[in-house]
Structure 1
Amino acid sequence: MQEYEKNALGLLVLGALIALGKLLASDEKITPRLFFGRMILGSATSMAAGAALVWVPGLPPMAVTGLGAALGVAGHQAVEIWLRRRGSGLLKGSDAKDDVK
């Protein structure tokens, strides 16, 4: 496995573990839908840290991991809040122009 593949896998696992920790620490009832949804969301937001390599190609793996952890926590929360507010309207088929303010 090459270095970039190890970094990507590490970011995926990191995001999933952050999401799992947040889920276990909350008072919400854990359902399979909530469990898998948060795992996917946490992994995806942590993977966004890989985009930092576009701006800074020589970024050390530890810095990418730190960005992944930060995005895994803050990004997960921001995406979840956005989905709760706007996502239901998108699923119901509301106009896209109503989404932008």
Structure 2
Amino acid sequence: MEEHEKTFIALFFMGVLIAIGKILTSDEQITVRLFFGRVILGAAISVLAGALLIWFPDISPLALTGIGTAFGIAGYQLVEMWLKKRGSALLQGRLKK
């Protein structure tokens, strides 16, 4: 397995663990839908840190992992807030311009 594949997998699982941690510390009732939705969202947001390799190809794996963790925590909240406000309208085709 090549280095970039290992980094991708590490970022993915870090996002999964962040999402699970956020679910366990929240006051909301945990449902299967909520659990899997947040796990997928957390993993996807953390993997976005891999896009930094386009601008900084020589960035160290530790720095990339740290940025992925930050994206997994902060970016997760922003995406979830956007989805709650606009996502359902977008999916139903009712988004106001």
Q: Do Structure 1 and Structure 2 share a fold, with TM-score over 0.5?
A: yes
| Equivalence for 1:82 | 82
Amino acid at match of 1:85: K
User: What is the alpha-carbon distance in structure 2 between the residues aligned to residue 32 and residue 80 of structure 1?
Assistant: 17
Residues 8-36 of structure 1: CA deviation (Å, up to 9, x unaligned):
00000000000000000001111110000
Q: Tell me the secondary structure at the aligned position of residue 64 of structure 2.
A: helix
User: What is the alpha-carbon distance in structure 2 between the residues aligned to residue 4 and residue 92 of structure 1?
Assistant: 37
Once the two structures are superposed, the pairs formed by residues 57-72 of structure 1 within 5 Å of their partners are 57-72=57-72
Aligned-pair Cα RMSD in Å = 0.9
User: What is the alpha-carbon distance in structure 1 between the residues aligned to residue 40 and residue 5 of structure 2?
Assistant: 18
Name the % identity. 56
Gaps of 5+ in 2: none
Deviating beyond 2 angstroms after TM superposition, the runs of 4 or more aligned structure 1 residues are: none
User: What is the alpha-carbon distance in structure 1 between the residues aligned to residue 91 and residue 50 of structure 2?
Assistant: 29
Q: Tell me the secondary structure at the aligned position of residue 58 of structure 1.
A: coil
User: What is the alpha-carbon distance in structure 2 between the residues aligned to residue 36 and residue 6 of structure 1?
Assistant: 23
Residues 37-88 of structure 1: CA deviation (Å, up to 9, x unaligned):
0000000000000000100010000000001000000110000000000011
User: What is the alpha-carbon distance in structure 2 between the residues aligned to residue 41 and residue 50 of structure 1?
Assistant: 15
Alpha-carbon deviation of 1:93? 1.6
Gaps of 5+ in 1: none
Q: Tell me the secondary structure at the aligned position of residue 29 of structure 2.
A: coil
Once the two structures are superposed, the pairs formed by residues 1-101 of structure 1 within 5 Å of their partners are 1-95=1-95, 98-99=96-97
Number of aligned pairs?
97
